């Protein structure tokens, strides 16, 4: 039986980072995703599970297995995953390859959601809309667009995500993400 509403899986990424001036680096505090949804007055039923708080450069196959298991056992058929941008496209492709019969939308941010200039809340809102309207499949919601898994890469130089044809996706497309 499928539960109504959306399952939100928190995995970390810049969206959930905070900035400490004395350290001059980003760190994790507590997740802000719940407060984003409350502030936005989301009325669609949702359930939030924090499964990890990791920079996406640190997410590996074992972590992707954890994410996929959480999706598989969830009664919800609509899933939003907050994820770091560096390996978001890779995780989306991995989840798509697993053939999960659910609508799964990954979203993140280029700046921590705690910052007023962050794109995080907007991207989470886009993910919620896509999860409710898109057919089963895996998608990335970034920069005001919904991209299908396997058809998107992060453009580090441009600070955006861009659509690509699946045949263009080569290991080199992900080399930039793991270089830093």
pLDDT of 16 strictly over 80:
no
Instruction: Give the SS3 label for residue 126.
Output: helix
Give 4's pLDDT tier (boundaries 50, 70, 90): confident
List of residues 6+ apart from 180 with CB closer than 8 A? 57, 86
pLDDT tens by residue, 40-56? 898 899 999 999 989 88
Contacts of 52 (CB under 8 A, 6+ apart): 10, 11, 12, 59, 63, 66
Query: Is 89 strand, coil or helix?
Result: helix
Domain positions in the chain: 3-179
C-alpha span between 103 and 100 (Å, rounded): 8
Q: Per the residue annotation, which of 14, 82, 91, 103 is the catalytic one?
A: 14
Q: Is 82 a catalytic residue?
A: no
Give the model's pLDDT for residue 20: 57
pLDDT band at 21 (very low <50, low <70, confident <90, very high): low
Residues 6+ apart with CB under 8 A from 81: 8, 9, 11, 67, 91, 104, 105, 106, 107
- Half-sphere exposure in the Cβ direction for 21 (13 Å, CA): 0
Supply the pTM of this predicted model: 0.84
**What string of DSSP letters covers 18-77?**
EEETTTTEEEE-S--HHHHHHHTT--S-EEEEEEEEE-GGG--HHHHHHHHHHHHH-SEE
CB atoms within 10 A of CB 152: 26
Q: What is 3-179's CATH number, 3.50.50.60, 2.70.98.10, 3.30.1540.20, 3.40.50.1170?
A: 3.40.50.1170
């Amino acid at each position: 039986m499928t539960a109504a509403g959306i399952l939100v899986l928190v995995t970390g990424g810049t969206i959930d980072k905070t900035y400490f001036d004395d350290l001059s680096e980003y760190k994790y505090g507590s997740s802000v995703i719940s407060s984003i949804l409350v502030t936005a007055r989301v009325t669609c039923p949702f359930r939030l599970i924090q499964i990890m708080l990791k920079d996406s450069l640190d997410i590996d196959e074992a972590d992707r297995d954890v994410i996929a298991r959480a999706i598989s056992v969830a009664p919800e058929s609509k899933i939003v995953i907050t994820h770091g941008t560096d390996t978001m496209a890779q995780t989306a492709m991995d989840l798509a390859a697993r053939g999960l019969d659910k609508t799964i939308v990954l979203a993140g941010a280029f700046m921590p959601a705690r910052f007023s200039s962050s794109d995080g809340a907007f991207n989470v809102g886009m993910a919620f809309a896509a999860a409710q309207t898109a057919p089963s499949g895996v998608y990335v919601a970034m920069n005001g667009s919904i991209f299908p898994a396997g058809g998107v890469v992060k453009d580090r130089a441009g600070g955006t995500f861009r659509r690509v044809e699946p045949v263009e996706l080569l290991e080199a497309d992900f080399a930039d993400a793991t270089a830093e």
